[in-house]
Structure 1
């Protein structure tokens, strides 16, 4: 067995696809340190730059000081402390739904929700570029999965037409796609879900805090009260850790009773919940944070477009498509030598032949840093 593992790792090395861990010491929301050298972080999902915000840190400290360092057990066994109740009420209000439920990670929220609301008698319609956690949730549900081409409404409609109207159906999509930064056509998906009697679920992991005035994809399309299930994370724009599901009370109560990743997990720590609650309050009350993000997104898009790079997305995710693994690694290494972390994204995260540098800009970056990154990227691309 060890020989098999070694052969698989050797194959990844040969294909320029081996992943390794690097240790960084964060200095602030956009700078890290390694071996006495500072680097500019351009690969983080900390979109609002709240990980070092004093208000969020104070929320984490208050949570730990009031309720201790750990939760001690799952919420159905050892109970729910008041911070959880406050956060879930705030999330439900934020997403304009009846209730919300917090999970330990966004991954667990997707896996736990899909595998609970869908079963072997359910047909799931899933976008081809959905996140791995959605894909795994579909597999665990044992439902029949029909994958439609990325954002292809006509193909989805064709697939829906082949299914009996009374069959249980779920349409599931990312709101903002994590590797491409584009926005799902949720308005058209909603129309199809009503026409063909299907539940509609959107994963707002990369949409919360970035689009829809920070409220996500449903808000972006004016469908907050229409989408059946809105899922998100606390670990990106909200600067903490965890995931959540927002929906009507029937669905949330059903998840409390059937979602295995919720039922059988020790709850998040009070510090995690306190930080998330404080970050949510910042997002809702401090308009300057979101304004800085949008300003930086527009500025970086303009810089990249001037370099001949397609950067028409409205989100903080800028995929720099390169193609071959070795070329992508070369660009990433060039950036690294210039003190910039721009991670090489390779298969299976993206399709073969579509390796890329995934750059992300945050509210905490400044224009000088963005200029430096774009200039370094332009120099790196010239080396190919």
Structure 2
């Protein structure tokens, strides 16, 4: 079982949810709708931990279906969305109005300021997601992913113009997701089909390659925020796998049968990497305690004995009624996370207090 949960309902279906990364004082998330017949919306919602309630902090017009949302790492008001418009795939950087933090009208439809749109040199490219470089000196660098490759974009003038862009010459099938290495500059890890690749963006060349990492399409990847070279992946083979990129011949841990259908999202906790969440098309969200390969000092683990020194499923959230397409940890707290299912149901949950005490005490 999880701790207390709160619910929020969109009036349309939804596929994407993202933490407002630049907001570190409260639990806020962007949520986008995905409706083919009606104009779509982006909701900025906040979880009030004291009363266990999700409240709206603004609803913003975004007529095309919102495929993905990618908040700026430090600017709370800026974020990319990816969507299709007039048959084309578009990635646009938006800015919330300055009043968004305090006085946004939560009942009326608010407007977003369009800052820029990414326009690949090759008009055949279809950008489906954007990844911000999280390093402090490079928040003006992003990677855009299309279905067969990636492009590096350098932004300028407060991220208002594209200074230059370069697309990789590699053509790879089913290029689904990627993430920056938070420990080493210029390193990026991507997944395509059943393979994992680590890239040196200065070259750009593949520095590590894991073929057939999953038996079926890999749908998501995340980098351990505390431990270099360690990543987690989830795929359509229903497995969650943990890897050390230096020892790529086999995974460190395989959570086989962790879900009864596709694993759509996997996320490391931003503060305590032994906590991992996963969600998928079996309508479930699972919270894992993966201690054996965590960054926690061995002394801390030994103090708790075998109770903590075991990789295990901490709990399963079964309150979603449709496929879970998005998961996010709160940007300001180690114990809060949100999930979104296709029917537009947002659930914010808490790590059980017993697990907090095992980690903190």
Instruction: Flag whether TM exceeds 0.5 (same fold).
Output: no
Larger Rg: 1
- Greater share of residues in helix: 1
Per the shorter chain, which TM-score range? Answer: under 0.3
